[in-house]
Amino acid sequence: MLTLERFEEASKIVKEVTLETKLMYSDFLSEQTGNKVYLKPENMQFTGAYKVRGSYYKISTLSEEEREKGLITASAGNHAQGVAYAAKCFGVKSTIVMPTTTPLIKVNRTKGYGAEVILYGDVYDESCQKAYELAEEHGYTFIHPFDDLAVATGQGTIAMEIFKELPLVEYILVPVGGGGLAAGVSVLAKLLNPKIKVIGVEPAGANCMQASLEAGKIVTLPCVSTIADGTAVKTPGEKIFPYIRENLDDIITVEDDELIVTFLDMVENHKIVVENSGLLAVAALRHLPVENKRVVSILSGGNMDVITMSSVVQQGLIMRDRVFTVSMLLPDKPGELYKVSGIIAKANPDIYDYDIPQSLRDLHASGDYGRWSALIDGRRTVPVCFLADNQTTGGNSGSPVLNARGELIGINFDRTWRSTMSDIEFDPELCRNIAVDIRYVLTVIDRIGGAGRLIDEMTIR
């Protein structure tokens, strides 16, 4: 059972391998949300995540014989490192089965702690099944990443530290994958203060706990889709589910797009790196329907490879309208690129790259400028780009252009059709799945003719 005595015991034991992660008050998030927001930075642990707490405490409860058999687990990365590091501390062998989608940094660091790593399956559940098979075949002792009461007890020691620093805490936001962290934190928090609210946060594309709570029983999702790889779980833990149902006050789900911009906020305003799963409790702050409350968001981990980091930053900049790409066709005569660069220079941007595709060079040289299209989004912004000729796009001037999936990607123009962009009426419903989402407006097309279109002005929203 999850008891206060066990939590107190675990709190002493995990100090042997954990770093002190003091609460950080966030002026930025407090101002954004209207609450007094504190961050519990478990991403600063030696292994980069809170998981070492549960792993180490669980292994400490095993007999010498169970340890000597060798340990095995399945994990998307953070529990893997926790078990590998704890096994190294106890001087025993560990084998870790990880999904093939696990970030490289987590794989390499797990190997660095001396573990044997086996990559198998696309998601945790498939890796877990493989680990069970290997445990039975070789006699290994299995350390479950979340559906184990000893593991959940170790994870719950986070709540003990939160209360010691902030006794009057009113809300705790905790990421949820399989439920081990949420079970430990919610149970201990309620033991220390029955009036506290503990809110679980899941990715919208992997909300197995929310689905299970709504159904009143364990539910397995048919599939999961999220950039939060550490919480990409199809089935929550069966052993810890009753504790979750009794002690967790609510579940908030967060879309991947929210995680992307939250990563950018954390890097720019707090100068710390938090992985996508660890960002769940931060992104959820904007969904919390309260004000003037003392809120703690648990940053569960920070193990993120630089390639993923770069991609998330780039996507975040695009979503915040700070980076965009635009294509245009220019008349083949001196001075035209100079005109465009002058327009761009007025906005004082940074230009990362430019290119003239060979296909457009060839088409430009032929003198056949063909047709134009305006790519649009649901807010009627109108970036301008060049499309192929009549035979490729089909349709009359002013008619919609659809891609292979039947999604609207533009409006046809030809050299004889004269209009300003404001003359065009777009159906927002048709524009919801636009292939290119550039929230910048190129306006005032001077003329349509044999020499193409000249762009006289660029307005940036």
- Residues marked active site are found at 51, 300
Q: In the numeric block, which tokens belong to residue 154? A: 């170790």
With a CB cutoff of 8 Å and minimum separation 6, the contacts of 18 are 45, 46, 52, 53
- Measured N-to-C along each axis, helices 52-60 and 78-90 cross at an angle, to the nearest 10 degrees, of 40
Calpha distance 458→356 (Å, rounded)? 20
Residue type, 80: A
The strand pairing partners of 413, in sequence order, are 372
- Measured N-to-C along each axis, helices 180-192 and 149-165 cross at an angle, to the nearest 10 degrees, of 50
The strand pairing partners of 116, in sequence order, are 95
Q: In the numeric block, which tokens belong to residue 181? A: 């962290």
Closest CA to 146 of 192, 191, 200: 200
Quick check: 204 and 231 in contact, CB under 8 A? Answer: no
Calpha distance 249→426 (Å, rounded)? 44
Closest CA to 79 of 178, 172, 8: 178
Closest CA to 33 of 271, 253, 320, 284: 284
Q: Which residue has the tokens 């889709």?
A: 225
Q: In the numeric block, which tokens belong to residue 108? A: 């390499």
Q: How many CB atoms lie within 10 A of CB 446?
A: 10
Calpha distance 22→34 (Å, rounded)? 22
Q: In the numeric block, which tokens belong to residue 361? A: 């060079």
Closest CA to 259 of 295, 225, 233, 221: 225
Q: Which residue has the tokens 């009057």?
A: 168
Calpha distance 348→118 (Å, rounded)? 50
Residue type, 452: G
Q: How many CB atoms lie within 10 A of CB 310?
A: 10
DSSP state of 96: E
